[in-house]
Amino acid sequence: MENAPHTKIIVGVDGSPQSIEALRYAAPLAKALGHDLEAFASWLPRIALEDYTPQWNPEEDARVALDAAITEAFGADEPEHLTRAVVMGPAAPTLIEASKQAAMLVMGTRGRGGFKGLLLGSVSSSLAAHAHCPVLIHHGEK
């Protein structure tokens, strides 16, 4: 069975300025390559009792945050072929799984962990090592 070509660029979006810049960067790239653009967010339920209320919906919170990031990135000029994906699970494993259906992953990098000398964050590093497609790590404007 022949593999179908993958024609979407997935951008990991966590609401950080770096991920919003990566989303902006990926939009013209996707257009130039004739690919769709997917803004991808993941979420994990918190297990602290003080956070729990029956009305709390962490998946909906993730959707709202993703929509806000897209609005911040593009305003009213949202790319025509932009889709959204909100998936339950840790960021790195869910993006690695999604990479099986992508032409490319695009990530911003924050490096928010405890090792300040590292140039990539842990999610970016994991994706660069384990994704099933090319990964572009966007460092933003200097």
- What confidence tens digit (pLDDT) does each residue in 14-26 have? 999 999 999 999 9
Tens of pLDDT, residue by residue over 81-113, are 999 999 999 999 999 999 999 999 999 876 544
Q: Which residues pair with 83 in a beta bridge?
A: 38
| Residue 117 belongs to some domain of the structure | yes
Q: Is residue 20 part of a domain?
A: no
pLDDT of residue 57 exceeding 60, the answer is yes
Torsion over CA of 14, 19, 22 and 23, rounded to 10 degrees?
50
Q: Identify each DSSP E strand in the chain by its residue range.
A: 8-12, 36-43, 82-88, 104-108, 135-138
- Strands 82-88, 36-43: pairing is parallel
Predicted pLDDT of residue 48:
57
pLDDT higher than 50, residue 42: yes
Residue 44 confidence (pLDDT): 85
Determine, yes or no, domain membership for 104. yes
> pLDDT band at residue 56, thresholds of 50, 70 and 90?
confident
pLDDT confidence of residue 50? 61
Shared domain for 99 and 131, answered yes or no, is yes
pLDDT value at position 1? 39
pLDDT category at 4 given cuts 50, 70, 90 is low
* Domain range for 71: 35-45+55-88
**Prediction pTM value:** 0.85
10 and 105 in contact (C-beta within 8 Å)? Answer: yes
Look up the CATH number of the domain holding residue 106.
Answer: 3.40.50.620
pLDDT (mean) for 43-68 = 80
Q: Tell whether 18 is covered by a domain.
A: no
Could you tell me if residue 133 is inside a domain? yes
Tokens of 116: 């300040």
Whether residues 142 and 111 fall in one domain: yes
